[in-house]
Structure 1
Amino acid sequence: MASGVATVWMPVEDMSRALKFYGETLGLKVKSEGDDWSELDANGVSIGLNGREETHGEHTGGAVLTLQPDGTLYDELVRLTDAGVTFVGEVSEHPWGRIAAFKDSEGNDLQLFEPPSE
């Protein structure tokens, strides 16, 4: 039985670019840096940037990293847009919450998630 998520690995082509995106743009704390492996903290979940794995190129599908902003989804959407992030489509509304999809600097799929207000 799995008891939680230990680390999420994201393939990257350009470690410097990826570290800037995850550290500066998203605001995650960089725990370690290396040419082939760097690690960030996302509120207790480690995100590993893996330069040793091949990136997916132009293919779609696969894993999606979903992030929950500190404030509202819309405030974070504005902040990231001002930082140069392009969102894919509109914010989608669901009974279980709101989702705003975007890509990281390496083409990996990311989302902002906000649970429904009670």
Structure 2
Amino acid sequence: MASGVAAVWVPVTDMQRAVAFYRDTLGLTVTDESDDWSEIDANGLMIGLNGRESASPSSGGGAVVTFQPDGSIEDELASIRERGADVQGEISEHPWGKIVPFKDSEGNDLQFYSPPQG
């Protein structure tokens, strides 16, 4: 039985570019960095950037890393757009909350999620 998520590993092709994306575009803290493995602190969840596996962007589904926006989802979307993120659409609203998809520097699927208000 699983008791929680220990870490998320994300394949990357260019470690320096990937570290810069997670640090500079998303504003997360880099806690360990090397050519083949780097660790990012995402509010207590460790994201491992794995340079030992090849990243292969595809549109056929797969894992998505979902982040909580620091402020409003609208403000965070504007902020990452200004910093050059590859935003994959607009904010969509659902009964369970709002999401907006984007890609990291290596083509991995990411999104911001905001729960419903009220």
TM tier, smaller: over 0.9
Match of 1:4 in 2: 4
The reply to whether residue 37 of structure 1 matches residue 20 of structure 2 is no
Alignment of 1:82-93 (within 5 A): 82-93=82-93
More off after superposition, 72-81 vs 56-65: 56-65
CA-CA distance at 1:32 after TM superposition: 0.1
CA-CA distance at 1:24 after TM superposition: 1.0
Superposed CA offset, 1:19-74 (max 9, x none): 00001110110010011100010000000000001212445321000000111100
The reply to whether residue 77 of structure 1 matches residue 66 of structure 2 is no
User: Matched residue of 1:116: which SS?
Assistant: coil
Matched letter for residue 27 of structure 1: G
Q: Are the aligned partners of 2:57 and 2:108 in contact in 1 as well (CA < 8 Å)?
A: no
Matched letter for residue 39 of structure 2: E
User: Matched residue of 2:27: which SS?
Assistant: coil
Superposed CA offset, 1:54-102 (max 9, x none): 2124453210000001111001001111111131122111000000000
CA RMSD of aligned residues (A): 1.0
Q: What TM-score do you get using the length of structure 2 for normalisation?
A: 0.96
Matched letter for residue 78 of structure 2: V
Match of 2:27 in 1: 27
User: Matched residue of 2:88: which SS?
Assistant: strand
Match of 1:67 in 2: 67
For structure 1, the residue ranges without an aligned partner over 5 or more in a row are none
Match of 1:46 in 2: 46
Distance 1:60 1:14 in 2: 22
Q: What TM-score do you get using the length of structure 1 for normalisation?
A: 0.96
| Segments ≥4 residues shifted beyond 4 Å | none
Q: Percent identity?
A: 61
The alignment of Structure 1 onto Structure 2 pairs a total of residues equal to 118
